[in-house]
Each structure stands twice: as C-alpha cells, then as structure tokens.
Amino acid sequence: MIVLAVATGDTPVNLTAVMSVFAFALGPIFASAPVIAFGRVSDQRRRMSAAMLSTFEMIGGASGALFVSLAPDGSA
C-alpha cells in the first residue's frame, strides 16, 4: 500500500484512493470474523467477546484520528 502511494505521487487524492481500496478489501474479513469467532464461544462469553471486539475497533479508529491530528504535514 505504501509503495503504491509513493509510486503514484503521494497526493491526497491518491492516498484516499489507496485507503479506499484497502478499506473495501478488509470489509469481508471484518464482516465474517466476528460471526466465526462468536460461533465458538458460549452464550455467556459472547457478550464479553463482542465488547472486546468493539473496544479494539474503537481504539484503532481513535488512535488513527489522534495521529492524523497531531502529525499534520500540510498536504491536505
């Protein structure tokens, strides 16, 4: 992904296009992984699994937003 962004000139439009392809490629993985994971645990442990899964997703999004806000380079 980084090689593709650098090879295409590293403009905001190109970075957005590369990240869009990356996000859509991960869509089927994130859609099917919780279903498979929850099928292997008991009903009581499903709630904890769902909470932990959503916690990790929120931490990832929040840390990404924090990094973007703290590391501006003037390209956008």
Q: Encode pLDDT of 9-50 as tens digits.
A: 667 777 777 777 877 877 777 766 666 666 776 766 767 777
pLDDT range class, residue 6, cuts 50, 70, 90: low
User: Could you tell me the residue range of the domain that residue 61 belongs to?
Assistant: 44-71
| Rounded Cα–Cα distance for residues 33 and 2 (Å) | 25
Identify whether residues 30 and 65 lie together within a single domain. no
Identify whether residues 63 and 35 lie together within a single domain. no
Identify whether residues 10 and 32 lie together within a single domain. yes
Q: Is-contact 49 38, C-beta < 8 A?
A: yes
pTM: 0.40
Tokens 């003037």 sit at which residue? Answer: 74
Identify whether residues 2 and 22 lie together within a single domain. yes
Domain count for the chain: 2
